[in-house]
Structure formats: C-alpha cells, structure tokens
Chains A and B, each alone.
Chain A
Amino acid sequence: MSNRICILLIEPSFLIREGLKTLLSSQGQPYRIEEFDAPVDDLDKLVNRINPDLVLLNPKLVIRLINLPRRNENIFEPYYIGLIESDAPTHIKGKFDQILNLDAEKSELNKIMEKSLRLIHNGNSETENTSLSEREISILKLVALGNTNNEIADKLFISAHTVMTHRKNITRKLGIKTVSGLTVYAILNQLIKLEEVQGV
C-alpha cells in the first residue's frame, strides 16, 4: 500500500517509546501511531478499534495474555513485534511474529524493523512482483462478476483459504480493496465487459 501504515505501540517506558519512534522514522516509511503506556485490559478490543498494521507490544502491559488477537475475516492481519528482554520465557516469545530484544544493538534493531516493515508492505510475502498472475486475474474476474469466496473456491477447485490469499495479493498489488472497486478495475482493463455485471 502506498498509504501510511498504522502502528499500535504498547510500552510503559517513555524512553523506549521515543526510541522506537526514532527507529521507525529512520526507516522512511510514513506511519501513524497510537501509543499506550498503561496496562491494557482488553487487547482484542483495542486491536479491533485501532486496526493496526503493526503492533509493538510489551507483554507486561497485557493482563492475561493468552492469545494475540488475529482476525481471519480481515484482509490485513496485524503483525506483532514483542518488546521483550532476552531472558523472557519461550511460550511468550512464541506468540509473536517477531521479537525485538530491548538490549540489542542499533544495527540489529534496524535490521529487525526494516524486515518487519517490508513484510507488512508486501502482505507477508517476500516477493516484490506487482503485476497480477494468471490465477489472480481469473480470481479477480470472478470477484468482479459478484462471486463470493466460496463460490470461487468451488469453481476453481481450490480452498476458500487459498482464494483469500489470492485476494489479499490482488488488493495489495492494485491498491483496490472493495468489490466494486475491483469491478471498475476489471472493466477499465477489459477483463470483463460492462454488460456482464449488474448494478455497476
């Protein structure tokens, strides 16, 4: 996305928060950030409310951390970075997509931040290909013609989960999120004909 990414930062220490913002700014990726320095009693709710691309979280501030909120129905999952000391227990570390060790050196911190931002940017895939694949085009056509994910899965003999992954990639590549937006794209690019669609 060419858009600013949205970051949720939950960390008690002012100095660490400021340090993280400096680190983030040096990456040159525009962002907006919501900061919390006090214990959070409902992380699910907060994540749903803010809808972040990236969560920088010190697990000490979460009361009863069982699972990190994941939203399968949402196209964009937040990416979780744990703000943890190196001796934190593994079962805590394992919940995060990435760990940022607070006593790490600058170059290490930079590397991790850069990698995480790149992953968010590319919807968690390492490839930087921006044109649509054949498969994505056929899925895009079906979406534009008004098929649901399940209908598409049935027609193409793939799982609904796979359809979802393709759709995320299509949205990422084109910068178009809504079905009607994809329909307009498909018509402009003559993938489908205006007469084929109803209600456009």
Chain B
Amino acid sequence: MRINKDLKMAEVIHMNHHLLPVLNRFDIYLGFGERTVEVVCKDHKINLNFFLEIVNTFHDPTYFPLRHLQSFKASMLIEYLRKTHSYYLDVKIPEIGQYISEIVQCSGFEENHRNLVKNFFDQYRRELTNHINKEEQGVYPYVLRLEKVLDSPRSSQETFDDLHKYSINEYEEDHDDVESKLFDLKNILIKYLPPVSNYKLLNLILHEIFELESDLNNHGHIEDLILVPIVENMEKEFHSRFANHGSNV
C-alpha cells in the first residue's frame, strides 16, 4: 500500500517500522499522536511531496517516482542524502564495528579468525567512507552549484567554465555499488563462521547488517534513479540557456 498524506504517521510506522531512521533524517521523531503525514510535515516545514516520494521509495522498492520528481529541488535531495551518509558513518558503522570487536573476543571465536573478520569489516568501512567522501566532495557540490546558477545566473565566468566541464554522466558511470562486501559478510556469518558462544550478539550483528544493506540499497537507488535524472534535466536547461557562457572546452 502506498503511503499518502492522509495516513496517520503512527499508521505509517505500523506499516513499516524500518522507516524510523528515514523519518529521523527529516528530524521527525516518535510521539506522533493522531497527526497525519500531512500535518507532521507541515509542523516540521517539510515539503510534503518530497517526503512522500522518499518514504514510498523506501517502503516499496518497486515504486518508481521518476515522473513526479520535477516538483522539488535537487538541494533537498542532497540534504537528505547527506543525512543518510552521516547516519551510516556516524551511527550504523561504528555501532556494527563495536559489536564486531565484541563478538571476536567471545569464547568459541577462534584466535585465528579474530583479525580476519575484524579486518574485513574495517576494509568495508574504508570502502564506504571513500565512496561517501567522493560524493560529498565531488558530485554533490557540483549539483548545488548548478542549481544556484540556474536560480540566479549572475555567476563568475569560472563557475560557468567549471559547470561546462563536468557532467552527471561521469558520476553515473563510475558510481559503484557499496553493498558487495556487506553481502559477503552476511554469508560469511550465516554460512561459514563456526558457531560462537554469544549467539545473541551474532544475531544482532546479522540483523544490523541486513538493515544497513537495505538502507544502502535504497540510498543507491535514490542516487541512480532520482538524483541522476533530475540533474540530467538541470544540465539540459543549463546548456540551452548558457550555451555561449562556456569556454569552448
């Protein structure tokens, strides 16, 4: 079922509690009372359509929002994506990392395997951090600059030159998925690691990895299928409006 503006926010969470961290990224926290989605969004000064697109994409992976996207700004999306990044790097990854350092110390965990699992996760952490840094330092600032120029074209020649030099297709082409290692880690824990004494903690780790994996999936989905098309449209507009502001590169 699709989430719409007239549903109560409490019902939304009953429908899919995995949406909680998504709501948190909008600075929405529990304690909704009887308020509807529309009212909660209004209270928090959140663009209702944008909110609905994001939660529906998360709730139903078959939901393809492309057609309704023109109504909100790329900067909104970037803000959301950045918050998601910091949720991964500042909350989830340290949390799972902490659990992993605990689990490798528990009895039943073979001495030889301790560093193996820990290092695998550390490698993953580095990979994800690099991926995110690259986006936050490269493509996101580019999109924000592009939006700014389209909103108020009084910019320096340098800005125009820079914008002419880059295209979102470059991002799209080398945007790799960051879930592969997580996928592997899941199977290592499920299938190949010998049983350990603290099985509850191991269950918890696995659960966290599943959650993170599907959140990352959704995040990549938003980047590839929402951000890229929006920016493609912005680039079209940019090139048709400012064709002669370029430096012929």
Q: Mark B92-131, 1 if CB is under 8 A from A, else 0.
A: 0000000000000000000011011101100100000000
Which of A32, A176, A194 is B188 in contact with, Cβ under 8 Å? A176
Q: Which residues of A contact B224 (CB under 8 A)?
A: 49-50
Stretch at the interface among B40-48, B71-79, B177-185, B199-207: B177-185
- CA A178 to CA B117, docked complex, whole Å: 14
Q: Mark B142-182, 1 if CB is under 8 A from A, else 0.
A: 00000000000000000000000000000011000100110
A135 close to B (CB within 8 Å): no
Determine if A184 and B120 form an interchain contact, defined as CB atoms under 8 angstroms apart.
yes
Whole-angstrom distance between the Cβ of B15 and the nearest chain A Cβ: 18
User: What is the count of residue pairs linking A and B with beta-carbon distances less than 8 angstroms?
Assistant: 69
Determine if B120 and A194 form an interchain contact, defined as CB atoms under 8 angstroms apart.
no
B64 close to A (CB within 8 Å): yes
Determine if A188 and B183 form an interchain contact, defined as CB atoms under 8 angstroms apart.
no
- CA A51 to CA B191, docked complex, whole Å: 26
Q: Which residues of A contact B191 (CB under 8 A)?
A: 174-175
Interface size class of B (residues with CB under 8 A): 20 to 34
Q: How many residues of A contact B (CB 8 A)?
A: 24
Which of B119, B123, B183 is A177 in contact with, Cβ under 8 Å? B183
Interface centre among A51, A178, A185 (most CB of B within 10 A): A178
Which of B62, B117, B187 is A35 in contact with, Cβ under 8 Å? B62
Q: Which residues of B contact A185 (CB under 8 A)?
A: 188, 192
Q: Which residues of A contact B173 (CB under 8 A)?
A: 48
Q: Which of A170-187 contact B (CB under 8 A)?
A: 174-178, 180-181, 184-185, 187
- CA A32 to CA B64, docked complex, whole Å: 11
Determine if A194 and B112 form an interchain contact, defined as CB atoms under 8 angstroms apart.
yes
Q: Which residues of B contact A194 (CB under 8 A)?
A: 112, 116
- CA A56 to CA B65, docked complex, whole Å: 20
Determine if B116 and A176 form an interchain contact, defined as CB atoms under 8 angstroms apart.
no
Determine if A49 and B225 form an interchain contact, defined as CB atoms under 8 angstroms apart.
yes
- CA A189 to CA B110, docked complex, whole Å: 13
28 contacts between A and B (CB under 8 A): A3-B183, A32-B61, A35-B64, A45-B172, A48-B173, A49-B224, A50-B224, A50-B225, A51-B177, A174-B187, A175-B183, A175-B187, A175-B191, A176-B188, A177-B183, A178-B180, A180-B184, A181-B120, A181-B184, A181-B187, A181-B188, A184-B184, A184-B188, A185-B188, A188-B113, A188-B188, A188-B192, A200-B116
Which chain A residues have a beta carbon within 8 Å of chain B's beta carbons? 3, 32-35, 45, 48-51, 174-178, 180-181, 184-185, 187-189, 194, 200
